[in-house]
Amino acid sequence: MKKNYRSKYLLNNIFLTILILAVPSFSLAKNLCKSDCEPTYEIITDDLSYPWGLAFLDETRVVVSERSGSLKLIDGESIQNLETGLQVSFSGQGGLLDIRKSPSYEQDQFLYLTYSKRKQGLSTTALVRFKIESNRITNIEEIFEALPYVGSSIHYGSRITFDESGHIFLTVGDRFNYTTASRIMDVFAADPQRLDNHLGKTIRLNLDGSIPKDNPFVGLSDALPEVFTYGHRNPQGIYYNSNDSQVYVVDHGPKGGDEINQLIGGRNYGWPVITYGKDYNNEKVGVGAQYSDMEPPLYYWDPSVAPSSLLIYNGENYPNWQSSWFVTTLREKTLLRFTKSGSKFVEERLYQNEFGRIRKIETSPTGDLFLLTDGGKGSLIKILGKSR
Ligand SMILES: [Ca+2]
């Protein structure tokens, strides 16, 4: 893998003009559902400001990160602000972003929080962990910041997940470091294709922020050792599936070409060399939809749905939904449910035009599903299982 990267990089430049035009066929079976296959729901609160992530401390207490800067502790009827003291950049897509409980929370009480960190007019995606003691934040420490800081205020990526062997995974977007992607002169040398920066990558760390010795690029002189996979655009969903011990991401394409990918350490997921989308100005990006040694998506959407989070449901509270995949969407304004049949995905669209832009789906400790909706009057919504 390590030697591969350098030679692959050179080969990619030499064979820039080789285009692979074969396009795989994907199942696009869609079931546009309205009410008959949707359970009822309960709005817990509609008083959230651009909520982005949530973590259940227990069955009644939940911490919600708001992009507009507050960390809210919801405990029954009461909602309390927790002061983080972080230098947060609130412009564009920035703010407080994802939050998750440590996989060993009962022992260590750590929460992990990502945010857009501000420094001298620039910003980056950063990861901290902290504890909540007597409804106050304590022991806060930064365990990762993506490099470099850039002037853009979008494409932070920033979702996190944990595997079952002591690792945290973090997505970092490409930061949209170009006016339009189609203007990149050499797509093979764009930030997400280079291993000497964290933009357009997934990051794999030990829970204390140290670098796992078995990360794919450890020891390579021109690569950052935190990098797990590369060639991503703006992945805003990541999920470790305990059923198959694999990590999956959803990534925003440009105009079309949103993707679901399965992460394999060291692999290149193609952006901006390959994509099923076009640039916002309708110009072509990169070389096409496929290229040698670049991973095609498991599934893609065209037109874009704008996928904002991913969850694979392994609970039992919704009998018809066991082992379903869920993707919340911003542009499509639906909750997408997938069932996998072999390598094909069958898609069902839930709550069309019911909630507006949906930011996040999460499970509670007892297996109930919750949604966060986007916007200045964002809601926390519980999906009721009894009606199914
Ligand atoms: Ca891709």
Is 203 a residue whose pLDDT tops 60? yes
How much distance in Å is there from the Cα of 198 to the middle of ligand 1?
Answer: 16
Check if the beta carbon of residue 269 is closer than 8 Å to that of residue 258.
no
- Per-residue confidence (pLDDT) for residue 178, from 0 to 100: 65
Which pLDDT value is given to residue 179?
Answer: 65
Average pLDDT over residues 98-108: 97
> In this structure, which long-range contacts are made by residues 251-254, counting pairs with CB atoms below 8 Å and at least 24 apart in sequence?
251/297, 251/307, 252/155, 252/304, 252/306, 252/307, 253/277, 253/300, 253/301, 253/302, 253/304, 254/181, 254/278, 254/279, 254/280, 254/285, 254/304
Going from the Cα of 82 to the center of ligand 1, the distance in angstroms, rounded, reads 37
pLDDT at position 24 is 38
Helix (H) or strand (E) holding 41: strand 41-48
Q: How far is the CA of 282 from the centre of ligand 1 (A)?
A: 18
CATH of the domain at 354: 2.120.10.30
Whether the per-residue pLDDT at 14 is higher than 70: the answer is no
Tell me how far the alpha carbon of residue 92 lies from the centroid of ligand 1, in angstroms: 24
| Cα–ligand 1 centroid distance for 68 (angstroms) | 30
Least confident of 10-24, 69-83, 166-180, 274-288: 10-24
Q: State the distance from the centre of ligand 1 to the C-alpha of 64, rounded, in angstroms.
A: 30
CA of 233 to the centre of ligand 1 (A): 8
Which H or E run includes 13? helix 2-14
Q: Whole-angstrom Cα distance, residue 176 to residue 378? A: 26
- The residues placing their C-beta within 5 Å of ligand 1, an ion, are 269-270
DSSP string covering 254-278, please? Answer: SBS-EEEEEE-TT-B--TTTB-SSB
| Res 11: pLDDT | 36
Residue 277 has pLDDT above 80, yes or no: yes
Residue 22 clears pLDDT 80, i.e. is over it: no
**Cα of 292 to ligand 1 centre, how many Å?**
13
Q: What's the pLDDT tens digit per position in 309-366?
A: 999 999 999 988 999 999 999 999 999 999 988 888 899 999 988 999 999 999 999 9
Quote the number of domains for the chain: 1
Mean model confidence pLDDT for the chain: 90
CA of 277 to the centre of ligand 1 (A): 10
Distance CA 361, CA 380 (A): 10
Burial class (CB in 10 A: 0-12, 13-18, 19+), 140: middle
pTM: 0.90
Those residues with Cβ within 8 angstroms of residue 10's Cβ, 6 or more apart along the chain or in another chain: none
Q: What pLDDT is stored for residue 173 in this prediction?
A: 97
Q: Which residues, in sequence order, are CB contacts of 305 under 8 Å at separation 6+?
A: 258, 327, 329, 330, 331, 332, 334, 336
Residue 132 structural domain = 5-387
The yes-or-no verdict on residue 77 having pLDDT over 90 is: no
For residue 278, the CA-to-ligand 1 centroid distance in Å is: 13
Residues 296-319 have a mean pLDDT of 95
**Among candidates 326, 329, 327, which has minimal Cα distance to 356?**
329
Q: Closest Cα partner for 181 from 94, 275, 294, 306?
A: 275
Residue 91 above 70 pLDDT? yes
Span 52-64, pLDDT tens digits: 999 999 988 999 9
The predicted structure's pLDDT at residue 229 = 98
pLDDT at 388: 44
Look at residue 29 in the predicted model and tell me its pLDDT.
53
pLDDT for 236 equals 98
Q: How far is the CA of 296 from the centre of ligand 1 (A)?
A: 6
Asked if 89 and 116 touch (Cβ cutoff 8 Å), the reply is: yes
Q: How does residue 25 score in pLDDT terms, banded at 50, 70 and 90?
A: very low
What tens digit of pLDDT does each residue of 138-174 get? 999 999 999 999 999 999 999 999 999 999 999 999 9
Closest by CA position to 124, among listed 55, 177, 69: 177
Q: How far, in Å, is the centroid of ligand 1 from the Cα of 20?
A: 15
- Residue 123 in contact with residue 116, Cβ under 8 Å? yes
116-142 pLDDT per residue, tens: 999 999 999 999 999 999 999 999 999
